[in-house]
Structure 1
Amino acid sequence: MLFSMPEPSAGGGSVRAARRRAGITLRRLAAELGVSVGTMSAIENDKVGLTIERLQQIARCLDVPAARLLEAPPPDDGTGRAAPPETPGAGQWRVFAPLELDPVLSSAVEVLNETGYHGATMRVIATGADISVPGLYHHYPSKQRLLVALLEIALQDLEWRVAAAGRETADPAGRFAAMVEALALFHSERAELASLVLSELRSVEEPNRERLVALQRRVPDLLEQAASVAVRLGRFTAADVRTTTRAITTMCLALPYWFPGSPEAAATGPAELARRYASLALDMMRHVPPTPSEVQLS
């Protein structure tokens, strides 16, 4: 009688996290593996086990060690949302644990990024989530509801990070630089969600559109306020604070379109790139470093 060794069980969350870090969509990975989108989604949601061969195939496609796909993903709070800590500790805004979205929202992120809101269908989203169409409608009555839920998750996650970064130092120039760093980090670490905000906010219907647009404007307003304080205190000498702040914001907003999967992403990484963006922002604001006496007094 022949006995076979048990196959390993890779963590679906780890597979999903590795795929997103590589900048590869669920549909593309499924095509490269020769499986359906529904099967790939089921793998990532731990509904389908993996053979050794399939595990190695995924690792090759994502260019990661197979052992990494066996690691457990960071735990989440079960909500699927990036809830800000009640009292964020120093630097917590720099920590980006994978968002454990429910299968429907996870599928919607992929489909909406690939086809756009108007090209997406609830049937395709349901297929990606490995759920029936009636089952999808039970949780999300409309495609519009799905879009609003995703944009809220993205905008709330961004705002608390930028606000937390701005509270970490009393130095006005340092405060502004940290906020820009948080903005750049979000748009590289959460590129899929960030790109939805940029491309699909216009697809949101009222009354949600006005509310989400107001939420989106909070971050540029926070940056402008911080820059204005630095100008009043003589730490920035930019002649047009509003225009310069908007230019810096736009620079960060472009990251989802080119950074994920780029050579720079592999060579530099989001953290280093964000620090470089913060340094560029200081140059654009015409930063005046503190004098030695000011440093001694601080």
Structure 2
Amino acid sequence: MGKGLVKRTVMSRETLDPAVGPRVRALRQERGLSLRVLGEQVGVSAATLSQIETGKSAVRPARVVELAEALGVEPGALAPGVDAEGRTPDESIEERYRRWRVFAPLEIDPALRAALQCFTATGYHGASVRDIARRANLSVPGLYHYYPSKQAMLGALFELGMSELLARTAAAREEGRDPAERFVRLIEALALYHAYRADLSFLGSSEMRALAPRDRRQHARVRTQQQEMVDDEVEAAVAAGLFRSASPHAASRAAVSMCMAVANWYRPHGPLSPEAVARQYVGYCLGVVECDPAVSHRVQTMDY
């Protein structure tokens, strides 16, 4: 596997996203339940429930359903994709985005879709829970069956966006045969993502300060992981004589920032397709890293 490939599996038949535990803990505390009381309701000890909440114990879909019922939420609020019968997608997030150029519509619940629309239209602080519920065609209590708070919706959207982006770029990176090719694939994947998922990308850039401190720290770590994928390839390409930048670190940061900015201006009904934007940005970014002209021609004429 290529360097930086995301190892985390969002869900499978045997285990689930480690973020399930923190969601359970947040809901339990919000409802004023002790570990012992909630554990009794789902048939586990307080110690076992503590292990689940801290991510030290795997959580199977059937247990997610039991926890969701006890906490008064839909199973998908704890583990996106789990339905009321405990069924889940069979593939990991890495497998799902192996075809990293293919962008299907986002499969998210009505509450999260409405939150995304409201946050991108008016900003996080300008959107009320009532606004989100109205857009989702839900009552406010109905909205809370999906997520315990507006902050939880924001955190879920950030996690959704970065998980997808990391998986797509990791898959793209694996296709390159040398640092220059891997850099090109990474830039293509970044540009495609920020065009196809412009709403999620814009939210990630504009509302990071609105995240709860713990979520903000986690998101910052994931963004650093994403940036380091590109940093490593630029530095390796400079060392191999493929790129000529005297400041590879700064050049890498500039290239990623250019791709992120696509979300600020790209419109689906504009004159350029996401694929056309990606090809343009590959050329721009090869200029930023001062790619050797012969190498630039080779990597820009690879199969797309």
TM-score higher than 0.5: yes
The residue aligned with 1:130 is: 137
Q: Residues 103 and 129 of structure 1 are in contact (CA less than 8 Å); yes or no, is this contact kept in structure 2?
A: yes
* 1:245 to 2:249 alignment: no
* 1:229 to 2:229 alignment: no
Normalising by structure 1, report the TM-score. Answer: 0.66
The residue aligned with 1:57 is: none
The residue aligned with 1:86 is: 95
Shift of 1:267: 2.6
Q: Residues 83 and 157 of structure 1 are in contact (CA less than 8 Å); yes or no, is this contact kept in structure 2?
A: no
Equivalent position SS for 1:234: coil
- Mark the runs of 5 or more structure 1 residues left unpaired by the alignment: 1-76, 292-298
The 5-angstrom pairing of residues 248-267 of structure 1 reads: 248-261=255-268, 266-267=270-271
Q: Distance in 1 between matches of 2:92 and 2:205?
A: 21
The residue aligned with 2:47 is: none
Q: Distance in 2 between matches of 1:234 and 1:119?
A: 50
The residue aligned with 1:52 is: none
Q: How many residues align?
A: 210
Residue from 261, 268, 283 that aligns with 2:287: 283
Counterpart amino acid of residue 167 in structure 1: E
Q: Distance in 1 between matches of 2:164 and 2:120?
A: 19
Q: CA RMSD in A?
A: 2.2
Q: Distance in 1 between matches of 2:279 and 2:138?
A: 41
Q: Residues 220 and 246 of structure 1 are in contact (CA less than 8 Å); yes or no, is this contact kept in structure 2?
A: yes
Counterpart amino acid of residue 166 in structure 2: E
Q: Distance in 2 between matches of 1:177 and 1:290?
A: 11
Counterpart amino acid of residue 209 in structure 2: R
The residue aligned with 1:206 is: 213
- Relative to structure 1, is the Cα distance of residues 269 and 218 closer, same or farther in structure 2, using a 3 angstrom cutoff? same
Q: Distance in 2 between matches of 1:79 and 1:251?
A: 36
- Relative to structure 1, is the Cα distance of residues 279 and 243 closer, same or farther in structure 2, using a 3 angstrom cutoff? same
- Relative to structure 1, is the Cα distance of residues 87 and 97 closer, same or farther in structure 2, using a 3 angstrom cutoff? closer
Q: Distance in 2 between matches of 1:203 and 1:277?
A: 30
Normalising by structure 2, report the TM-score. Answer: 0.65
